[in-house]
């Protein structure tokens, strides 16, 4: 009798959507993904359509307006799906989550996956408007980089949940374009989240107001402090500090 190590995606309502765009906002560097995802949910008035379930997850639920929510859940608005988490991803569950999500996305014939996150930069304090770098998994996603004049991340190491998701998207040939903004490593960074949302507006043709996000920046930084602290500890256990390393291979 083996331990149950699978992750299931439970659809609260049937998710019937044609070639959706799938955004991912997980607690990561600077909480960039989670902050931008939360802002997208509020701005687009997205609704919960699924949640993730697994024995690998800690026994945690969240309460909002007295209603119970699973911490890992998927929202929808028209043909945009968004996966966010309010708790750090347990290291033990990273690969299982990635497999479950990417297999589900393949079934839904997803047109584009966009993980949203940050790249740690030591001089972030001197950067007024963070740049956004991209990582593409195939030619379809890579074409978007040129179409929208985006910047590529050319060399480096990625660690954590997004590294796993990108690898699985390559394996399943799902177009995936990660958006990574220059960010504080260990402080919540709404400024970096705003930069990511500007790129989303370009690529998806949405019109999400980043001004509203920047006005709430100080409030967001206060309210996400504890999550940032826990996330930083979890990321360290996943080898996140290797993103600061120079890649070993050279050409």
Partner 1 sequence: MSEKKKDLFDQFMEYISDFERRFDETFYSILSSFRVTRPSWDPDKCCLVPLVDIQEYPEEIIVTADLPYVDKEDISINATETSLEIDAKMRHPVRFERWGTVQREISFNCYHKSIKLPSRVDPEKAKATFRGGILRISLPKKISKQKIEID
- Per CB under 8 A, residues contacting partner 1 are 1-3, 5, 90-92, 125-126, 184-188, 191, 217-219, 221-223, 225-226, 228-230, 233-234, 236-237
Helices (H), the chain: 32-44, 94-107, 139-147, 161-172, 190-204, 210-215, 217-223, 225-237
Minimum distance between the CB of residue 66 and partner 1, rounded to whole angstroms?
Answer: 9
Q: Least Å distance between CB 247 and partner 1?
A: 22
Tokens coding 246: 């120079």
Which of 39, 221 has the CB closer to partner 1?
221
* Residue whose CB is less far from partner 1, 118 or 191: 191
What's the closest the beta carbon of residue 117 comes to partner 1, in angstroms? 19
- Least Å from the CB of residue 90 to partner 1: 6
- Of 110 and 224, the one with the shorter C-beta distance to partner 1 is 224
Strand positions, DSSP E, 8-152 = 8-11, 21-25, 47-53, 62-64, 67-69, 72-77, 80-85, 112-120, 132-136, 151-152
- Judged by beta carbon, residue 202 or residue 239, the one nearer partner 1 is 239
- Do residues 179 and 192 make contact, with C-beta atoms less than 8 angstroms apart? no
Q: What's the min distance (Å) between Cβ of 125 and partner 1?
A: 5
Is the dihedral angle over the CA atoms 240, 10, 171, 77 positive or is it negative?
negative
Angle 98-54-62 from CA coordinates, rounded to 5°: 100
Is the CB of 143 or the CB of 230 nearer to partner 1? 230
Contact 101, 161 (CB under 8 A): no
């Amino acid at each position: 009798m083996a331990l149950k190590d699978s992750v299931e995606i439970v659809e609260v309502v049937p998710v019937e959507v044609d070639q959706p765009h799938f955004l991912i906002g997980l607690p990561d560097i600077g909480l960039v993904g989670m902050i931008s995802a939360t802002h997208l949910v509020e701005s687009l008035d997205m609704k919960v359509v699924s949640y993730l379930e697994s024995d690998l997850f800690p026994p945690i639920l969240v309460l909002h307006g007295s209603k119970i929510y699973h911490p890992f859940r998927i929202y929808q608005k028209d043909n945009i799906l968004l996966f966010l988490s309010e708790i750090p991803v347990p290291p033990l569950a990273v690969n299982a989550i990635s497999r479950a999500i990417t297999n589900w996305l393949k079934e839904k014939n997803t047109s584009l996956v966009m993980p949203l996150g940050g790249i740690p930069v030591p001089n972030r304090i001197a950067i007024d408007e963070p740049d956004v770098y991209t990582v593409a998994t195939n030619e379809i996603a890579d074409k978007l980089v040129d179409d929208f004049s985006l910047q590529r991340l050319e060399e480096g190491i990625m660690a954590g949940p997004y590294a796993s998701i990108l690898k699985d998207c390559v394996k399943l040939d799902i177009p995936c374009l990660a958006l990574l903004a220059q960010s504080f490593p260990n402080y919540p960074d709404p400024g970096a989240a705003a930069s990511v949302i500007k790129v989303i507006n370009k690529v998806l043709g949405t019109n999400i107001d980043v001004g509203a996000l920047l006005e709430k920046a100080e409030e967001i930084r206060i309210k996400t402090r504890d999550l940032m602290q826990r996330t930083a500890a979890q990321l360290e256990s996943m080898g996140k500090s290797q993103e600061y390393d120079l890649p070993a291979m050279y050409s």
